[in-house]
Amino acid sequence: MAKGVYMTPKAYVAEHGQDYQSRTLWLNQELKDGMSEILAHPYLKTRVRYWIGPQASIWLLDEIGKEKPISFGVHVVNNQIRNIEVLAFRESRGDEIRHPFYTQQFLGLKLTEDAQLDQHVDGITGATYSVRAMSKIARVALWLDAQVQNDNKSR
């Protein structure tokens, strides 16, 4: 069985941004539409909790793998992924995405103008849904980071 909790959200934040400030991003329709476009399904939540530091943010997000949610932690610094990890995996297969051999290919990735990752991410045979979920979450975290960083600059 591939199921497991590998790290708590609290431990992820402590490891990657213990001095960051906790914030809540209330999602207006424009933000929900942007997230829904990246995820390719409606985003139904009304808010997202995140942590913000200088030119950086941490996002704790879930996305459905094949049938069940996978919980991710994503650390974004200077508009690029510094770290991405699977915090909890609930599917029966596909947990290979949690291993460093896979996650390290996300390091340094940025978003293009059309909200795509700027480099190709290799898949894993037998983990197609999990691979898609992680790629979508990476894109969402980078997109949300851009939204909050732009909002902070305009203040």
47-58 tens-digit pLDDT? 999 999 989 999
Prediction pTM value: 0.94
Question: How many residues does the structure list for the chain?
Answer: 155
Q: Which pLDDT score is estimated for 24?
A: 96
Confidence of residue 153 (pLDDT cuts 50, 70, 90): low
d(CA 58, CA 102): 20
The mean pLDDT value of the chain amounts to 93
| Secondary structure class of 7 (helix, strand, coil) | coil
pLDDT at 17 over 80: yes
* Nearest alpha carbon to residue 73 among 149, 22, 11, 26: 11
Q: What is the percentage of the chain residues whose pLDDT exceeds 70?
A: 96
d(CA 99, CA 96): 6
Confidence of residue 1 (pLDDT cuts 50, 70, 90): low
Q: Which pLDDT score is estimated for 152?
A: 62
Interval 97-123: pLDDT, tens? 999 999 999 999 999 999 999 999 999
pLDDT at 145 over 90: yes
Q: Which pLDDT score is estimated for 23?
A: 96
